[in-house]
Amino acid sequence: MKKILNFIVLCLFVILSGNAFAQTTQSIGSKHLFKVNADGSSPVYTHNSDHTNNIYTWKVFLSDVGATEVGAATNGTEFTFKKYDGTTLTLADDLLDAEVTDVADLFAVGIQWNTPGYYLVEVAEINAGTGACATRRRMHINVTAGSIDLAIITSTNVGDVVSGDALTDCNGASNNIITGTDFGKTVRYFAVSMATDGQAWNGDWGFDFTVAESNGTGNLTSAVVTNETDGATVLGNKVTVIGGNPTVVLKVTVDNTPGPSDDTHPNAANNHNISLNLTADSGTPFIVSGVNQFEPGTNDANNTPGAPFVITASPNTSVLSID
């Protein structure tokens, strides 16, 4: 009997020792990988060999600010379990509760937060084939509605930043053979990202935009904006983005304006270099979390790139003639 009591006490100690847990703040829409017994470094992890074939169960509980459990959170409502794919290194596929309960080698799962609040993420591990003794670990999470922040940069077609001298370049038809009066078009790109509390937003979002297109003759209106990357839809001056795309790239196409391109030219007032920029209209950037939440005015500063693209004009060479 004494041995049995000692065994029960030992099991209780192991269980209770897992109740000391860390705390962190995350934002709605964000996805995070939770893991134990992991070898490797982000984002590539493998299961530690000392824990091979051990059984894992993952749960999420509602809590108060002091990390006291107050009930069960619902997968698919307050949060969504996500499968960690060690090959593609993504958290894409949703997992049912049954798929995270008593599963061998499930040392890591993803969670996407859908609703603000306080939560406890719990994992229980049981040694393979040795009975009922388990270790439980918990982490206290404060999921905030977040201060949303949209940012736009001048970019390449894959979203890499373009800055400094690289912002100024020849038009898309430079050095082409021109026939008639069509001097072609030029394409430039802008990468737009959405975050909450400094973390990438993975829910639905959107914004209205204004294109600033001008040269020395005044404002121009030729710009056509389309989506370069999947996930974004452009309709008029509105962009809507489906969840899972915290950054999208927009393609802006403009008509070239041949003519003087040097401010020292006698016709400098008619400099035909095009200045091109894109701005998210103040007050319109939003995220979708049950209801739309809008960007506060204090975060407007990066709603447009700090410097525009400059599209250098080619000379407006007259049609070739002979005598």
Task: For 270-314, give the secondary structure using H, E and C.
Answer: HCCCEEEEEEECCCCCEEEECEEEECCHHHHHHCCCCCCEEEECC
Mean pLDDT of the chain: 87
Element (H, E) at 25: strand 22-27
Strand partners, 250: 190, 227
Strand partners, 47: 38
pLDDT score at 23: 62
Strand blocks (E) in 145-246: 148-155, 168-170, 185-196, 199-200, 205-215, 218-219, 224-227, 232-235, 238-241
**Buried b or exposed e, range 143-154, using 16+ CB within 10 angstroms:** bbbbebbbbbbb
pTM, rounded to two decimals: 0.67
pLDDT average, residue stretch 281-310: 88
Band (pLDDT 50/70/90 cuts) for residue 263 is low
Band (pLDDT 50/70/90 cuts) for residue 2 is very low
Same fold flag, 19-144 and 148-312: yes
Say which residue, 217 or 266, is predicted with more confidence: 217
Written out in words, the top-level CATH class of the domain with range 148-312 is mainly beta
The candidate with the shortest Cα–Cα distance to 96, out of 116, 115, 117, 74, is 74
Domain boundaries, the chain: 19-144, 148-312
- pLDDT above 70: percentage of residues in the chain: 89
Please state which architecture CATH assigns to domain 19-144: Sandwich (2.60)
Q: How far apart are CA 267 and CA 143, in angstroms?
A: 59
> Does 291 have pLDDT greater than 70?
no
pLDDT digits (tens, 9 = 90+) for 57-106: 999 999 999 999 999 999 999 999 999 887 777 787 899 999 999 999 99
Band (pLDDT 50/70/90 cuts) for residue 265 is low
pLDDT digits (tens, 9 = 90+) for 111-150: 988 888 999 999 999 998 776 789 999 999 998 877 789 9
Per the listing, tokens 């049609």 go with 319
- Yes or no: say if 172 and 187 are a contact pair by the CB < 8 Å rule: yes
- Yes or no: say if 152 and 308 are a contact pair by the CB < 8 Å rule: no
Band (pLDDT 50/70/90 cuts) for residue 14 is very low
Phi, psi (degrees; rounded to nearest 5) at 183: -100, 15
Q: How far apart are CA 118 and CA 140, in angstroms?
A: 7
Alpha helical stretches, state H, the chain: 2-17
Handedness of CA 77, 109, 142, 123 (dihedral sign): positive
Output the CA–CA distances (angstroms, integers) from residue 36 to 18, 79, 105, 122, 156, in the order listed: 12, 20, 10, 11, 38
Paired tokens of 173: 């038809």
- pLDDT above 90: percentage of residues in the chain: 61
